[in-house]
């Protein structure tokens, strides 16, 4: 049977090929080959041991050939290292690997290249989307999340790789996923799409034997009234025609509550006000006034408006418009 058959190998797997072959993640091709030879002798299709469940044997031998085929091909091994979502084995399993390697070394040619012992393995980061309200974005917040850590299976941690593969407790994975809750602080001034990295506070990485980083992809929920533009927050506030003309003190909704704001007499439609520091991270909040024209008038009001019109010394607001029109036509 051809063990190099590429069509046979899965492109994405949750299986730990290094673990299956009982080699360390930085094993050389020689080490992988030797390990495979041993495994082939014990688990190859020629073995029909009564003590081993046939299905388990087939499954594990398929795993072994998959693992071997992938790890012996530098391109596929690289791809696997990059894409496999497996959590590799822990420090105690590594101690076992060390033992296996030492046992092998005594029978090995001393001139063979030795794999680097102290390769620094980068712990995998955990990315998570975190949705917060605009209020939380402005004020900062605390959030509790569940992180799932792989935890070595006690049933098989001290067993040999091949026995571990047949462990019923963990179904051969060598670990269990265990949930824990963790609380995180988010500073004030978070904008939508921001990335917040909590170093070494993510998921336990079995292969690196340390915690990876946790990266929060921040999503700020849309507010029904307030629009975020960069770090500024914009709101449109309706005012009456009387407030626009006479001035007023009005309440303006902000991300964290209401604040009062002065409307100057004779405020024009669409006028922009800035409220200092009420946006995100010290940016301003922008208030645009929208003058609301009355929708109905009583007879008395109509009379009063007519009287106001007579009293008004306001020039025709269209004069400049007409002038321009004459010049251009
Ligand atoms: Zn187990």
Q: Which residues pair with 176 in a beta bridge?
A: 151
Residues with CB under 5 A from ligand 1 (ion): 153, 155-156, 167, 169-170
CA–centroid distance, residue 122 to ligand 1 (Å):
25
Most confident of 38-42, 172-176, 291-295: 291-295
Answer yes or no: is pLDDT of 30 > 70: yes
**Which band of pLDDT confidence, cut at 50, 70 and 90, is reported for residue 153?**
confident
The C-alpha atoms of residue 284 and residue 275 are separated, in whole angstroms, by 6
pTM over 0.85: no
In a domain, 199, yes or no: yes
In a domain, 245, yes or no: yes
CA–centroid distance, residue 136 to ligand 1 (Å):
43
Instruction: Find the domain containing 256 and state its range.
Output: 227-299
Do 250 and 279 lie in a common domain?
Answer: yes
Answer yes or no: is pLDDT of 98 > 80: no
User: Which element (helix H / strand E) includes 246?
Assistant: helix 241-246
In a domain, 320, yes or no: no
Return all residues near 269 (Cβ < 8 A) that are at least 6 apart: 244, 289, 290, 291
In a domain, 68, yes or no: yes
CA–centroid distance, residue 154 to ligand 1 (Å):
6
CA–centroid distance, residue 29 to ligand 1 (Å):
27
CA–centroid distance, residue 279 to ligand 1 (Å):
53
Do 145 and 54 lie in a common domain?
Answer: no
Count of structural domains within the chain: 3
Q: Which residues pair with 274 in a beta bridge?
A: 286
In a domain, 327, yes or no: no
CA–centroid distance, residue 172 to ligand 1 (Å):
6
Q: Which residues pair with 146 in a beta bridge?
A: 181
Answer yes or no: is pLDDT of 88 > 70: no
């Amino acid at each position: 049977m051809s063990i190099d058959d590429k069509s046979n190998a899965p492109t994405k797997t949750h299986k730990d090929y290094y673990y299956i072959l009982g080699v360390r993640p930085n094993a050389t091709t020689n080490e992988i080959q030797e390990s495979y030879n041993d495994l082939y002798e014990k688990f190859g299709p020629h073995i029909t041991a009564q003590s081993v469940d046939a299905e388990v044997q087939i499954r594990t031998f398929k795993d072994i050939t998959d693992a071997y085929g992938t790890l012996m091909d530098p391109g596929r091994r690289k791809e696997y290292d990059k894409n496999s979502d497996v959590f590799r084995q822990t420090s105690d399993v590594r101690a076992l690997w060390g033992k296996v390697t030492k046992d092998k070394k005594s029978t090995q040619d001393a001139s063979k290249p030795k794999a680097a012992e102290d390769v620094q393995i980068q712990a995998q980061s955990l990315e998570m989307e975190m949705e917060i309200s605009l209020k939380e974005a402005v004020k900062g917040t605390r959030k509790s999340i569940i992180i799932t850590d792989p935890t070595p299976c006690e049933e098989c941690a001290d067993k040999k790789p091949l026995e571990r593969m047949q462990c019923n407790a963990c179904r051969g994975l060598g670990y269990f996923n265990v949930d824990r809750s963790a609380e995180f602080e988010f500073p004030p001034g978070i904008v939508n799409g921001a990335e917040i990295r909590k170093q070494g506070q993510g998921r336990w990485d079995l292969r690196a034997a340390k915690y990876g980083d946790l990266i929060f992809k921040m999503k700020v929920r849309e507010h029904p009234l307030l629009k975020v533009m960069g770090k500024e927050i914009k709101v449109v506030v309706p005012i009456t025609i009387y407030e626009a003309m006479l001035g007023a003190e009005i309440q303006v909704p902000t991300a964290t509550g209401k604040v009062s704001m002065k409307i100057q007499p004779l405020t024009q439609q669409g006028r922009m006000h800035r409220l200092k520091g009420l946006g995100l991270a010290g940016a301003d909040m922008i208030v645009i006034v929208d003058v609301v024209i009355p929708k109905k008038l009583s007879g008395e009001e109509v009379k009063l408006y007519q009287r106001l019109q007579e009293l008004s010394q306001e020039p025709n607001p269209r004069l400049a418009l007409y002038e321009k029109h004459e010049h251009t036509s």
